[in-house]
Structure 1
Amino acid sequence: MSEKVTGIADLSPLWRAKEQKAWYWYDWANSAYVTTIATVLFAPYLIGVAEAAAVNNRVSVLGLQVAPGSLPSYLVTFSTILSAIALPPLGAMMDRTEKKKQWLAGFAWVGAAFASLLFFARGDNWEIGAVAIIGANLCLAASMVVNDSILPLISTEHERDRVSSRGWAWGYLGGGLLLALNLALVVVLPFGLSEAEAARISMLSAAIWWAAFTLIPFFGLSNHPPADVEPVSGNAFVRSFGQLFQTLKEMKNYPMALTFLLAYLFFNDGIQTVIASSSTYGAEQLGFGQGVLIATILLVQFVAFGGALLFGRLAARIGAKRTILGGLATWMVIVTAALFLPEGEVAPFLVLGVAIGIVLGGTQALARSYFSLLIPRGKEAEYFSFYHAMDRGTSWFGTLVFGLVYQFTGSYRPAIFALIVFFALGGLLLMRVDTARGIREAGNDVPAVV
């Protein structure tokens, strides 16, 4: 006698897995811009273009006389301030729409279009490069708010750390792969290319890579209806600010999320400053040439791929909070070891690069997934907009401390070691976060391992 069918198989895990695989590709796509353009090629290339246009070693920016060597820093700072202002209302708007994948792709494609303008910044036309980097950075920041807000929609609470870690891992792999190809182009200079032409081609390839691979999440993700939006009236702009103000009033109801945000600001600032200052430290303090520095950058990129996956597995066993704390302890060891690195010896510098790679992707990936557990459903984009906006709004703390310590001591060794304060404060604040309480306050399910 045949058995009676009493139910229908739950296919949601299969659909989630399909969307997660598509979602990973956006980290792969945008990391090409971050590594090839923002981290390596943009600043030295634009400085060269600005120097060609300079009069008395100055270019005029909105009536201000700026040294060409300072121009990239000012442009990045300006775009950072703009994004810190623009992201919170954008997040509120994203929480009110179900067409998140369209917005994600739209920001990515407009950002890639801005980035492609760098190909045309040649001769003394540095203004095109300035517009390109400001527009691309703004669109990248906006796309990351949308991208991170999709994470809770395509994964359950117990899947979150694994999915976030794999996304970061794919990002480091994709960014590192294109960077290796582009650096080979810049170093070898085939077909009679000049170094400037090779740099322009490399930056254009990163823009095309960003746009092309965004097609995968665009077609692979589904639209999810918004949940728990505030009942405010008016046009989209007015409704977005209405929801934003309501969320700001309600944030006091989620003290664990706010405590983690404060912890994140400290330890992430430390991480970003170590990365931003490592080339300066290697060149000026340890005496390494560009070849060693480039090799170290690539090493960090590819090791970070494995590091992100490793941290995801550790989080599944001991919980994300403990794993992040372990990562912060490792960062403290790293800046302490940097204090004693011998000058001119490559091997210890590369070992330190391996250590950075292991904890770099892991701490950032788990910070994203851990925060997603502490925020209420339907407010993902808003809270991630604060996550990114506050990151950008305070990202100058670490570099300020690094610069001041160097100015007072005349050495980069105590300057790099001073960043230990950011990891210590971040860790102490993170220890105050009651994970289970924060998850319950947000109305989310508590994973088996926290």
Structure 2
Amino acid sequence: MTTRAVPSAVQQDRPSLLTWPIIAWSLWDWGSAAFNAVITTFVFTVYLTSAPFGDKAANEASLSIGLAVAGACIALLAPVTGQRSDRAGRTVFWLGAYTAVVVAISACLFLVLPEPGYLWLGITLLGLGNVFFELASVNYNGMLNQLTTKERFGAVSGLGWGMGYIGGIALLLIVYVGFIAPEVGWFGVTSANGLNVRVSMLVAAAWFGIFAIPVLLTQAYRGSRSGAQQEDAVVKAPVGASEPAPEAAAAPRESLLASYKRLWRTLVGLYRNHPTVLWFLLAAAVFRDGVAGVFIYGGIIAQNTFGFSPGDVIVFAIAANIVAGIATIAVGHLDDRIGARRVILGSLVILIVAGLLVFALHDAGRAAFWALGMVLSACVGPVQSAARSFLARLIPEGKEGEIFGLYATTGRAVSFMAPSMYGLFIALGTRIVGPGAAYWGILGIVSVLAVGLLLMLRVGEPESLARS
């Protein structure tokens, strides 16, 4: 007989959302917008694919190759790094280490001058930043279970997600007003030699580094307090008391090969006992990579296809983040009413249709991209949020931590798909229509979203499948 608390008891025991550990955790998401919004999406990649670095279509294709290689590295490393840090009990340490590397790489982007000879330096740094950012994210996501109970998982996760959107808007406004928009910005910075963009990279590095500190200090302090309490409990335990749980002891060090074998056993177990979970993890990994492609290449398409200036791209990015944040919060209520699966399928269909319209209307002017870009932005957050709530309903009893860990890593295990397909379709378009075919890359993103949609159609409603 299973024991479940009645709803009133759940409400009484519900932990507070705005505790300092949760706020500190959310500030990492706020700070990480420096890499996601400013570097990867709307400022540095737009700068790196601009005319001073060479032919725009060739630059985009080269960037896609670099990001595809980075995605392959993530696919090899991400599934086991989180598992190994969890078993060693060093989640906070590795979060700090990987974050520090991302901050250092972000600062090094200042060295990328607007000349063709610096293109691959920029692509290499960006690729390395992506790898270490995703490794840091694995450990960051793994902290969620330490912050709250499962009943508040969605609220806490949503708070972090929302802080990411808001942090992106705040930092984009700072770099736009301070460096990108004015002819002479703060501290006398101008656009000569790309200095306005390069200085923005230093600001982004400082932003991420500063806002990553609270969670590292808070979790390290909580870990030391917890360790002291455990030691105290062992000292005070009466004769005959139980030994500490095996999980409390440090796991023995194992080889990288052993970690991959452990991962394989987990996947085989899911295939045999819970194949629906595995199918959803696969579907979510694919369509989430397509959604990431929408953001990664959105600014590039705006500039190189629709004629946006770097300043216009920043303004568009701010509007896109506001729309994405509002839509994610609003559709979260719709998720509870009609089900997460319908939200995912509906959002993917809208994303695919809007993407095809961007391709078809590539010469229709900036107003067309503004309208379609806002539609795309309104679907990006909801599909990711609904995917997380869907999985929460689907996880087999007792497998929550393990499956959410896989969810956090598999999302990047196929991260080479969108960049590869983007570059492939540009090459195809160049062969068909000649130079100026950069807009064909849109079809690459749409194809990834379409594959994710087809895979998602194979997965039924979670209520009929969960804990079966």
**Is 1:150 equivalent to 2:143 in the alignment?**
yes
**Residue 213 of structure 1, CA deviation:** 0.7
- Judging changes above 3 Å, is the alpha-carbon distance between structure 1 residues 158 and 420 closer, same or farther for their aligned structure 2 residues? farther
8 Å Cα contact 2:69-2:416 kept in structure 1: no
Residues of 2 paired with 1:259 and 1:35: CA distance?
30
Q: Distance in 1 between matches of 2:46 and 2:111?
A: 16
**Sequence identity, in percent?**
25
Alpha-carbon distance in structure 1 between the residues aligned to 2:329 and 2:283: 23
State whether structure 2 residue 156 is matched by structure 1 residue 136.
Answer: no
Distance 2:450 2:123 in 1: 37
- 1:306, CA displacement in angstroms? 1.1
* Letter of the 1:39 counterpart: T
Q: Give the equivalent residue in structure 2 for 1:115.
A: 106
- Does residue 192 (structure 1) correspond to residue 188 (structure 2)? The answer is yes
Distance 2:101 2:303 in 1: 35
Instruction: Give distance in 2, aligned partners of 1:415 and 1:425.
Output: 16
Give the drift of 1:114.
2.3
Alpha-carbon distance in 1 for matches of 2:165, 2:351: 19
Aligned residue for 1:175?
168
1:87 offset after TM fit, Å?
A: 1.0
Matched to 1:427, the amino acid is L
Distance in 2, matches of 1:106 and 1:381, equals 22
Say whether the 8 Å CA contact 1:146–1:381 is kept in structure 2.
no
> Within the alignment, does 1:394 sit opposite 2:417 as a pair?
yes
Distance 2:61 2:349 in 1: 34
Rounded to whole Å, the distance in 2 between the matches of 1:110 and 1:280 is 26
2:415 aligned counterpart, secondary structure: helix
| Conserved 8 A contact 1:273-1:398 | no
1:350 maps to which of 362, 365, 370: 370
| Alignment TM-score, normalising by the size of structure 2 | 0.75
Q: How much has 1:78 moved relative to structure 2?
A: 2.8
Q: Within 5 Å, give how 1:217-256 maps onto structure 2.
A: 217-221=215-219, 222=222, 234-237=252-255, 240-241=259-260, 243-252=262-271, 253-256=273-276
- The equivalent residue for 2:5 is none
Q: How many residues align?
A: 420
TM-score by length of 1: 0.78
- Distance change (3 Å), C-alpha of 1:366 and 1:159: farther
Asked if 1:202 corresponds to 2:222, the answer is no
Computed over aligned residues only, the root mean square deviation of the Cα atoms, in angstroms, reads: 3.9
Q: Distance in 2 between matches of 1:228 and 1:430?
A: 38
Q: Closer, same or farther in 2 for the Cα pair 1:380/1:264, shift >3 Å? A: closer
Letter matched to residue 218 of structure 1: L
Distance 2:163 2:34 in 1: 11
Q: Which digits, 9 at most, give the CA deviation of each residue in 1:117-161, with x for residues without a partner?
A: 223455989487566434422220101112223334445445444
Would the aligned equivalents of 2:284 and 2:411 in 1 still touch at CA under 8 Å? Answer: no
Matched, 1:83 2:71: no
Displacement after TM superposition at 1:204 (Å): 0.8
Give 5+ residue unaligned stretches, structure 2.
Answer: 1-8, 228-244
Any stretches of 5+ residues in structure 1 without a counterpart? 1-6, 52-56, 59-66, 442-450
Residue 165 (structure 1) aligned to one of 158, 161, 166 = 158
Indicate how the Cα distance of structure 1 residues 283 and 132 shifts in structure 2: closer, same or farther if over 3 A, else same. closer
Letter in 1 for 2:463: A
Distance 2:83 2:297 in 1: 34
Match of 1:263 in 2: 283
The Cα of 1:417 is off from its aligned counterpart by: 5.8
2:45–2:300 contact (8 Å) kept in structure 1:
no
**Residue in structure 2 matched with residue 214 of structure 1 by the alignment:** 212
Describe the superposition over 1:149-175 as per-residue Cα deviations: whole angstroms up to 9, x where unpaired.
333444544544443333222111101
Q: Distance in 1 between matches of 2:362 and 2:404?
A: 45
C-alpha distance in 2 between matches for 1:159 and 1:316: 15
Mapped pair 1:296 → 2:316? yes
Find 1:426's aligned residue among 441, 452, 458.
452
**Structure 1 residue aligned with 2:4:** none
